[in-house]
């Protein structure tokens, strides 16, 4: 890269989350064409005209990590001119922290709900509303704990951590192959009562969940070790966009099957929900409705703020929910539980609200003794590597958004440590998924102009309360299936599209790159299809070995991602051609920063930071290191 070129930094991407993979030039998420947001005493005054944002993810609040390259190509000069109300180290008044924290919590709620419900389906809990409530409560609780730990002990940037959809793929692959895993006919006899059947099904659910727990704990521990040893830099030398894009793209494609399960209940309502979110976020992106505001300086006055963009998915879910309630009261939906559209009714599962306890406290081993599955563990490890690279992208995107220097290697390593630790915590509580950063919340920082870590502390506390108050999870579980399906179409559809935009770092005129990407995606879809459609053709004589091999080959991330990595590292190609140079370049010295590298210092006494021992710990700042940022790979 020439000295006159604009530096390159990671873009973020998701989330259900965040796609966090990719670097590009001159990051800026909020592009105000004719004016910029101005600071009022307590409330941001949004621009009266101009485009607030052209990023669909920021408009939609899509959760796990989605960004559009059109939003990140503005000059660094205009970014440095924008005024933030509160910077990373600032502490807003408590009432404003509560407001902004609640907003950040609501933005990521749909992503958390969708991943939790997908896990419930995989463990045979599709009809067990009580278990779904426990699972969601545990997930929301972990969201809060992980967000607080990441903000104050991890990379120390204002980041939200929620359920990682990457880890759902191996579970869906397992469910697609073992189609009879939830079938209780083999246990049913003529003397079995309905109560016995319910007990047996709960036993199957708990046993499957416990297998996920042990596998997730071990994967989390390994991720923690990767962060503690600084092994992230080694990974970045071998895994670039040509490897990651096919793997993450296959995630979006594979989630299509899970989304169809919700949408097929009523396609009309699903597409209505999808259309509402698209209209609010894209068609009306230039419309900023008036909003009554009070401040010390101007007292009561009217400002304009794009709430319909920030909360597009939540608004769409609410409207779809109300519409289903009207149709339910009008008798449009059948009351036969075996009918396809029965789950469109708002009262189909409403009894869970009455039966759910007011308070539910997740604890380790709540679902029984933790067990382990080799095949699930291997799938989780593949997801771990993609999640690590995704998260690194979010770290840099968040730093760029907050106008602070890009995180140094020790901060990135600490972030990976916290994510691994929190994934292990999620495993002990039985969540069935790991945690990762959500790009949609980073986008909200640009819109609200509030980058304070204190806001994300409040957000974490709110999620802990969501998890502890059982009635809240029960209400979320009652969302009609087609409404949830419509929201997933928007979220995962955007997820899939944005993944491809990250190929801008790669030379797409290269036959080498096109062959690797195309072949990896094609075989990553073909082999799992073969395993699912003809499972009996894979027979080596070892039944246990065959089952493990089926689950591994049925995981599109494993087959497509490993193939892409192998081809990308064995077929000759320059680093520029492969996009590796762009991904490794974390320097952005031309930005106008409002805070320094000290925001990444861990919360320990200063005298310990000056100790010579620190230079031997990859997750602590080296007292002998220069302030100039280096690439994570050490080059």
The structure tokens listed for 13 are 């991407």
pLDDT in tens, 572-585: 988 888 887 765 56
Mean pLDDT of 446-456: 82
The more confident residue out of 324 and 613 is: 324
d(CA 154, CA 419): 8
Q: Where are the beta strands (DSSP E) in 510-605?
A: none
Judged against a pLDDT cut of 70, whether residue 630 lies above it is answered with no
pLDDT in tens, 553-564: 887 877 888 899
Mean pLDDT of 106-123: 82
Would 7 be classed as within a structural domain?
Answer: no
Task: Output the pLDDT for position 78.
Answer: 41
Burial classification of residue 300, based on how many CB atoms lie within 10 Å of its CB (0-12 exposed, 13-18 middle, 19 or more buried): exposed
d(CA 39, CA 30): 15
Would 70 be classed as within a structural domain?
Answer: yes
d(CA 473, CA 426): 17
Task: Output the pLDDT for position 36.
Answer: 34
Task: Output the pLDDT for position 579.
Answer: 80
pLDDT in tens, 67-90: 333 333 333 334 434 567 788 888
Spatial CA neighbour of 169 closest among 562, 557, 560, 565: 557
The more confident residue out of 425 and 204 is: 425
Angle at CA 376, nearest 5°, toward 373 and 379? 150
- pTM assigned to the model: 0.72
Judged against a pLDDT cut of 50, whether residue 482 lies above it is answered with yes
Ranking 271-285, 526-540, 584-598 by mean pLDDT, the lowest is 584-598
Would 259 be classed as within a structural domain?
Answer: yes
| DSSP string covering 198-251 | HHHHHHHHHHHHHHHHHHHHHHHHHHHHHHHHTTHHHHHHH--HHHHHHHHHHH
- Residue 615 — pLDDT band, cuts 50, 70, 90? confident
Task: Output the pLDDT for position 324.
Answer: 93
Task: Output the pLDDT for position 190.
Answer: 58
Would 13 be classed as within a structural domain?
Answer: no
> Helices marked H in 403-480 — which ranges?
409-429, 439-448, 453-468, 470-477
Task: Output the pLDDT for position 319.
Answer: 93
Task: Output the pLDDT for position 626.
Answer: 52
Task: Output the pLDDT for position 593.
Answer: 77
pLDDT in tens, 175-210: 766 666 676 665 555 566 666 677 788 888 888 888
**Chain-wide mean pLDDT for the chain?**
76
Spatial CA neighbour of 412 closest among 618, 583, 596, 161: 618
Judged against a pLDDT cut of 60, whether residue 214 lies above it is answered with yes
Judged against a pLDDT cut of 90, whether residue 461 lies above it is answered with yes
- Residue 385 — pLDDT band, cuts 50, 70, 90? confident
Residue 78 near residue 411, CB atoms below 8 Å: no
Report which secondary-structure segment, H or E, holds 49: none
Task: Output the pLDDT for position 52.
Answer: 35
Judged against a pLDDT cut of 90, whether residue 145 lies above it is answered with yes
Ranking 170-174, 306-310, 346-350, 587-591 by mean pLDDT, the lowest is 587-591
Burial classification of residue 630, based on how many CB atoms lie within 10 Å of its CB (0-12 exposed, 13-18 middle, 19 or more buried): middle
Task: Output the pLDDT for position 194.
Answer: 65
Task: Output the pLDDT for position 295.
Answer: 65
Task: Output the pLDDT for position 77.
Answer: 38
Mean pLDDT of 321-342: 89
Number of domain units in the chain: 1
CB atoms within 10 A of CB 592: 11
Ranking 65-74, 127-136, 440-449, 479-488 by mean pLDDT, the lowest is 65-74
Judged against a pLDDT cut of 80, whether residue 60 lies above it is answered with no
Domain housing 467: 19-584
d(CA 210, CA 216): 10
Burial classification of residue 419, based on how many CB atoms lie within 10 Å of its CB (0-12 exposed, 13-18 middle, 19 or more buried): buried
The more confident residue out of 145 and 538 is: 145
Percent of the chain predicted with pLDDT > 70: 78
d(CA 86, CA 213): 39
Would 180 be classed as within a structural domain?
Answer: yes
Judged against a pLDDT cut of 90, whether residue 493 lies above it is answered with no
Would 610 be classed as within a structural domain?
Answer: no
Mean pLDDT of 314-327: 90
Ranking 139-143, 273-277, 300-304, 328-332 by mean pLDDT, the lowest is 300-304
Would 623 be classed as within a structural domain?
Answer: no
Q: What are phi and psi of 373, to 5 degrees?
A: -135, 125
d(CA 520, CA 566): 10
Task: Output the pLDDT for position 436.
Answer: 87
The more confident residue out of 486 and 194 is: 486
Task: Output the pLDDT for position 349.
Answer: 79
Percent of the chain predicted with pLDDT > 90: 17
Would 380 be classed as within a structural domain?
Answer: yes
């Amino acid at each position: 890269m020439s000295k006159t070129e604009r530096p390159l930094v990671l873009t973020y991407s998701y989330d259900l989350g965040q796609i966090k993979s990719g670097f590009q030039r001159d990051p800026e998420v909020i592009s105000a064409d004719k004016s910029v947001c101005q600071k009022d005493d307590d409330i941001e005054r949004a621009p009266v005209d101009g485009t607030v944002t052209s990023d669909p993810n920021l408009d939609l609040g899509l959760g796990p990590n989605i960004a559009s390259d059109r939003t990140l190509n503005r000059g660094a000069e205009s970014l440095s001119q924008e005024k933030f109300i509160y910077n990373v180290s600032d502490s807003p008044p408590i009432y404003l922290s509560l407001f902004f924290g609640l907003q950040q919590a609501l933005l990521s709620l749909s992503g958390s709900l969708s991943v939790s419900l997908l896990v419930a389906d995989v463990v045979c809990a599709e009809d067990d509303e009580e278990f779904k409530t426990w699972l969601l409560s545990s997930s929301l609780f972990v969201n809060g704990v992980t967000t607080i730990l990441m903000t104050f002990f991890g990379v120390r940037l204002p980041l939200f951590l929620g359920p990682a959809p990457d880890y759902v793929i191996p579970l869906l692959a397992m469910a697609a192959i073992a189609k009879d895993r939830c079938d209780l006919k083999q246990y049913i006899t003529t003397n079995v009562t309905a109560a016995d059947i319910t007990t047996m099904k709960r036993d199957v659910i708990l046993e499957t969940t416990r297998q996920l727990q042990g596998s997730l704990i071990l994967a989390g521990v390994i991720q923690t070790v990767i962060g503690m040893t600084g092994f992230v830099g080694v990974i970045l030398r071998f895994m670039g966009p040509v490897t990651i894009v096919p793997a993450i793209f296959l995630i979006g494609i594979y989630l299509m099957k899970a989304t169809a399960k919700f949408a097929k209940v009523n396609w009309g309502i699903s597409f209505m929900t999808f259309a509402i979110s698209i209209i609010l976020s894209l068609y009306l992106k230039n419309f900023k409705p008036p909003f009554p505001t009070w401040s010390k300086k101007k007292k009561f006055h009217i400002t304009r703020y794009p709430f319909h963009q920030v909360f597009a998915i939540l608004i769409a879910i609410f409207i779809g929910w109300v519409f289903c309630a009207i149709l339910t009261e009008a008798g449009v939906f059948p009351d036969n539980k075996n009918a396809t559209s029965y789950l469109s009714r708002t009262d189909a599962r409403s009894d869970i609200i009455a039966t759910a306890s007011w308070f539910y406290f997740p604890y380790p081993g709540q679902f029984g003794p933790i067990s382990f599955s080799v095949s699930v563990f291997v799938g989780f490890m593949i997801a771990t590597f993609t999640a690590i690279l995704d998260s690194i992208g979010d770290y840099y995107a968040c730093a760029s958004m907050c106008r602070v220097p890009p995180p140094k290697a020790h901060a990135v390593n600490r972030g990976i440590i916290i994510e691994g630790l929190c994934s292990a915590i999620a495993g002990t509580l039985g969540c069935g998924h790991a945690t990762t950063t959500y790009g949609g919340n980073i986008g909200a920082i640009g819109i609200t102009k509030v980058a304070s870590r204190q806001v994300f502390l409040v957000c974490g506390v709110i999620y802990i309360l969501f998890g502890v108050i059982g009635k809240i999870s029960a209400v979320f579980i009652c969302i009609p299936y087609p409404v949830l399906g419509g929201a997933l179409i928007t979220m995962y559809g955007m997820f899939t599209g944005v993944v491809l935009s990250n190929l801008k770092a790669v030379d797409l005129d290269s036959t080498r790159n096109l062959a690797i990407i195309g072949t990896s995606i094609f075989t990553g879809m073909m082999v799992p299809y073969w395993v699912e459609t003809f499972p009996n053709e894979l027979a080596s004589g070892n039944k246990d070995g065959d089952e493990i091999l089926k689950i591994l080959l049925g995981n599109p991330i494993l087959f497509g991602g490993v193939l892409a990595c192998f081809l990308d590292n064995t077929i000759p190609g320059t680093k520029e051609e492969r996009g590796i140079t762009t991904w490794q370049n974390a320097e952005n010295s031309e930005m106008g920063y409002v805070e320094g590298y000290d925001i990444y210092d861990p919360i320990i006494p200063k005298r310990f930071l000056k100790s010579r021992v620190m230079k031997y710990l990859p997750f602590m700042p080296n007292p002998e290191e220069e302030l100039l940022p280096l690439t994570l790979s050490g080059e």
